Amino acid sequence: MSAETLARIQFAFTVGYHFIFVPISIGLGVMLILAERRYYKSGLAIDKATSEMWKKIFAATFAIGVATGISMEFAFGTNWASYSRFVGDIFGAPLAAEGLMAFFLESVFLGVLLFGRNRVSKRFYYVSTWIVVVAAHLSALWIIIANSWMQTPAGYRIDARGIPRLDDFFKAAINYSTIPRYFHVVAATWVAGAFVVAAVCAFYLLRDRDKWMVRRTLGSALVIGLIATIAMPLTGDRGAKEVTARQPVKLAAFEGLYQTQDDAPMYIIGWVDTANQTVKGIKIPGGLSFLAHGSTSDEVTGLDQAAPNPANRPPEQIVFQSYHFMVGIGMLMLLIMVVALFEHVRGKLERRRWLLWILALSFPLPFIAITLGWVSAEVGRQPWIVQGLMKTKDAISPTVSAGDIGFSLTIFALLYLVLFVAWVRVVSKVIAAGPQLDQAETPEQPDRRRPITPGPAEVDA
Amino acid sequence: MTLPWIWFILVGVLIMGYAILDGFDLGIGVLYPFLAKDEAERSVLRSAIGPVWDGNEVWLITAGGALFAAFPFAYAFAFSGFYLAIMLVLFGLILRAVSLEMRHRDEKWKRLWDATFFLGSFVPALLLGCAVGNIIRGVPMELSVTGGGGGGPDYAGTFWQLLNPYSLLVAVTGLAMFVTQGSAWAALKSEGALRERAARVRSIAQLVFVLLVVATTVATLVVVSDQVSHAMTTFWGWLALVVFVAGIAIARWAMSRGSDVGAFAASSLAVAGLIGLWGAGAWPYLIRPRDGAYGLGIQAPLLHSSHLTLTVMLLIAVVFVPIVLLYVAWVYKTFWGRIPREKAEY
């Protein structure tokens, strides 16, 4: 394999892997705030135990997120040296800013979160939880700023040597796609956090254990899950309109639209026949026109006009399928959250074992959807690494050989496999153990407003 | 001219922060299998860095980001040129980053995580110095014309050429520096027998470190004499030298008085001085050329980002670096104090 192919595989693998853990730390962080807030307000040992449990999962996930995040920062220099030289004037700044504004905050206060329970005041501990989670959201902002600039570059001019130079910092940072993409990504992490928490809660209910904890946790997770799953298509729609305007090739590839046409259809499911340049599948006539322009009859630019030269098109099948499965899974998750919350509000969720099984087993869905979303966004931009400015094939490191990358890719694969096994071990251990009431804790006044332990009637019901 | 100079210093300050702070984490990781005699002592060592190591590592990440933003050509050159070495550092850092947390939660695999904690500290502690050695000594460069943006200077040597005697000497010096930092922090955070042992290691490690610095200086005079003379014609070079010597002297004095805080602070001062000396000798080069087709090297005043980028970044740094320092100091204060062996739980 060529160095370029290996470099592409390595980046896709390491960044895809990294972004399994990132959504958990951001999304679970939100759940952690809720848990810590309950403890801050109630002072109950059970709320503390619950928060501690999420914190253990959060910490193990965060550790892998940090570790695999260092790879990403290094990767631009090691494998994509030409890219780094080309975009350094603009792309480097958000990475440095992420370090100074977000990552320091996140890491330093994580220390407080993990070790400071008995060293800082209760109020400050609660505030520290907020700081860590807000910093994680800030971190994501800078990364999305950097990535969005690759999708819809703005705020630059081309200098005499043909290199983009920063012209307007705010235009470059808040470029055309930054805001919709940021909210899309953040909502996705919240979906992930909600599904993880809901899965653990459903698991406990199925096992008939730790019900007091589930009753204080599940409702808020489902509410956040529903809000976030609703936000996904809304933010996605905003993003798609930017894609229509700024990345017509990507939009056409999403739907396999080869010919520019009015009444462009949207497929529910389909297969791209790349040889005949058509799509076979179930379609909604005019759907794409409606999504892109708000009217079913409007013209949508197809690949024929957006990228007349086939060399400037992304691999249509991958983009089409990843996009469609992302949307499909998104809708499925929305459905699950609607049904689950509905049953929860009616107070019947605990008895709907089939629904609990669905909740307990559907935690991988957000991660599959997130990965597919990144594939459609990043592969959909190909052959460009920076849309319209630089092609991916021109971005690699001239001096790094295929052997070098093959070697590092092998180690990455092995190392990341070990990390994954270790992470699964730790997380499943924490979940199996459940919330651990601190024995040394002095017995506290039970909260009279809510039942903490299920009464016999509730258990039997 | 001023902005590249300021950014040269700022990147240097970030490297200093890393060498001082993550320096003691790395040092503790290297000493971990040797310094602690039982499970409780190992726990003390882990607890000593538990709340802070993650934040300490951010200095490296921010230094990398700042180098990328301010001097993309140097970033691209070093990371792609020293590919295998950088990858080994990276694998070390990855292992180290997960080993503490995983060990804490997974009793059965603790031997594995103990081993990776050591290895993940040792490899970066050694190889970072090796990279610095090559940057001081100079590396063969050629001008790549392939790739987007018209290419730029690229590394023209092999991995094995990086392992030259001079750079290996710097690598060992760096290792001694990290071990000194690590033992000084361990002495500061522990009690009883462990504290005594750490203090002994600290004293020996620092003597070895000073001897290695002297040896490196002599070697530098032989290999790249102009850098020494260059450093010694500038105010900054002399300042760094004074800081280094004062740091060592105060550290010895503090050790003799049994002040662990003083020893650690002064030892950190010496680290800052040494990094300062490197910077004073290197300016204006970020990376020196040697035996290559491309003789210009990578000079800060020639190959830097646009003034607008450097200005915006400077504004961000001016606002946020003091804030970062404030809360980092606050967290250190929060976790201040020795960890009794019976109270170490991490």
Joined together, the tokens standing for residue A124 give 């400050």
| Among candidates B55, B93, B102 on the partner chain, residue whose Cβ is nearest the Cβ of A70 | B93
Q: Measure B277 CA to nearest chain A CA, in Å.
A: 25
Nearest CA in chain A to B329: A108
Looking at beta carbons, which residues of chain B come within 8 Å of A404? 83-84
Interface test with A, best of B77, B80, B319 (most A CBs within 10 A): B80
Looking at beta carbons, which residues of chain A come within 8 Å of B148? 82-83, 86, 390-391, 394-395
Given this model, what pLDDT does residue A454 score? Answer: 46
Q: Which domains can be identified in chain B, with CATH numbers?
A: 2-334 (1.20.1630.10)
Query: How big is the A-B interface in CB pairs under 8 Å?
Result: 265
Between helices A3-42 and A45-79, what is the axis angle to 10°? 160
Rounded distance, CA B174 to CA B282, Å? 17
Given this model, what pLDDT does residue A449 score? Answer: 44
Torsion on CA atoms B187, B190, B194, B199, rounded to nearest 10: 10
Omega prior to B284 cis, within 30 of 0? yes
Mean pLDDT for B31-36 is 93
Q: Measure A423 CA to nearest chain B CA, in Å.
A: 8
Q: What is the pLDDT of residues A258-310, one digit of tens each?
A: 989 888 999 999 999 888 888 899 999 888 999 888 888 888 999 999 999 98
Residues in chain B: 346
Mean pLDDT for B271-284 is 93
Given this model, what pLDDT does residue A446 score? Answer: 45
Rounded distance, CA A63 to CA B332, Å? 20
DSSP string, B20-65: IIIHHHHHHHHHHHHH--SHHHHHHHHHHHTTTHHHHHHHHHHHHH
Between helices B39-49 and B83-105, what is the axis angle to 10°? 120
Given this model, what pLDDT does residue A402 score? Answer: 93
Q: Measure A348 CA to nearest chain B CA, in Å.
A: 36
Flag if A99 and B58 touch (Cβ within 8 Å).
Answer: yes
Output Rg (C-alpha) for chain A, integer angstroms: 24
Joined together, the tokens standing for residue A127 give 């505030």
Instruction: Flag the least confident range among A53-62, A396-405, B146-155, B187-196.
Output: B146-155
| Among candidates B55, B77, B94 on the partner chain, residue whose Cβ is nearest the Cβ of A104 | B55
User: Is the minimum CB–CB distance between A108 and chain B shorter than 8 Å?
Assistant: yes
Q: What is the pLDDT of residues B91-143, one digit of tens each?
A: 999 999 899 888 888 888 889 999 999 999 999 999 999 999 999 999 999 88
Rounded distance, CA B341 to CA B322, Å? 35
Looking at beta carbons, which residues of chain B come within 8 Å of A90? 309
Looking at beta carbons, which residues of chain B come within 8 Å of A438? none
Q: Measure B82 CA to nearest chain A CA, in Å.
A: 8
Rounded distance, CA B56 to CA B49, Å? 10
Q: Measure B265 CA to nearest chain A CA, in Å.
A: 20
Nearest CA in chain B to A393: B147
Query: b/e for B46-84, b at 16 or more Cβ within 10 A?
Result: bbbbbbbbbbbbbbbbbbbbbbbbbbbbbbbbbbbbbbb
The residues in A 75-94 lying below 8 A from B, measured between CB atoms, are: 76-79, 81-93
Flag if B76 and A99 touch (Cβ within 8 Å).
Answer: no
| Among candidates A68, A86, A95 on the partner chain, residue whose Cβ is nearest the Cβ of B69 | A95
Flag if A73 and B65 touch (Cβ within 8 Å).
Answer: yes
Percentage of chain B surpassing pLDDT 90? 75
Given this model, what pLDDT does residue A442 score? Answer: 45
Percentage of chain B surpassing pLDDT 70? 99
Query: b/e for A3-22, b at 16 or more Cβ within 10 A?
Result: bbebbbbbbeebbebbbbbb
* Confidence band for B149, pLDDT divided at 50, 70 and 90: low
Rounded distance, CA B7 to CA B127, Å? 24
Joined together, the tokens standing for residue B257 give 């008085």
| Among candidates A67, A116, A399 on the partner chain, residue whose Cβ is nearest the Cβ of B98 | A67
Looking at beta carbons, which residues of chain B come within 8 Å of A100? 62, 316-317, 320-321, 324
The residues in A 331-390 lying below 8 A from B, measured between CB atoms, are: 390
Q: Measure A120 CA to nearest chain B CA, in Å.
A: 7
Flag if A70 and B97 touch (Cβ within 8 Å).
Answer: yes
* Confidence band for B24, pLDDT divided at 50, 70 and 90: very high
Asked whether the predicted pLDDT for residue B170 surpasses 90, the reply is yes
Average pLDDT, chain B: 92
Mean pLDDT for B81-99 is 93
Flag if B148 and A95 touch (Cβ within 8 Å).
Answer: no
Element housing B311 (H / E) = helix B307-334
Q: Give the pTM.
A: 0.91
Given this model, what pLDDT does residue B316 score? Answer: 93
Between helices A3-42 and A178-206, what is the axis angle to 10°? 60
Flag if A162 and B312 touch (Cβ within 8 Å).
Answer: no
| Among candidates A390, A398, A423 on the partner chain, residue whose Cβ is nearest the Cβ of B154 | A398
State the ipTM, two decimals: 0.91
Looking at beta carbons, which residues of chain B come within 8 Å of A83? 148
Nearest CA in chain B to A53: B105
Given this model, what pLDDT does residue B229 score? Answer: 82
* Confidence band for B283, pLDDT divided at 50, 70 and 90: confident
Looking at beta carbons, which residues of chain B come within 8 Å of A70? 57, 60-61, 90, 93-94, 97
Q: Measure A260 CA to nearest chain B CA, in Å.
A: 31
Looking at beta carbons, which residues of chain A come within 8 Å of B102? 60, 63, 422-423, 426
User: Is the minimum CB–CB distance between A73 and chain B shorter than 8 Å?
Assistant: yes
Mean pLDDT, chain A cut into blocks of 10 residues (461 residues total) = 93 95 93 93 90 93 92 93 92 90 93 90 93 95 95 91 90 91 96 95 93 90 95 92 90 91 90 89 90 86 91 93 95 96 91 93 95 95 92 91 94 94 94 82 45 43 33
DSSP assigned state of A300: B
Terminal CA-CA length for chain A: 61
Flag if B152 and A425 touch (Cβ within 8 Å).
Answer: no
Looking at beta carbons, which residues of chain A come within 8 Å of B48? none
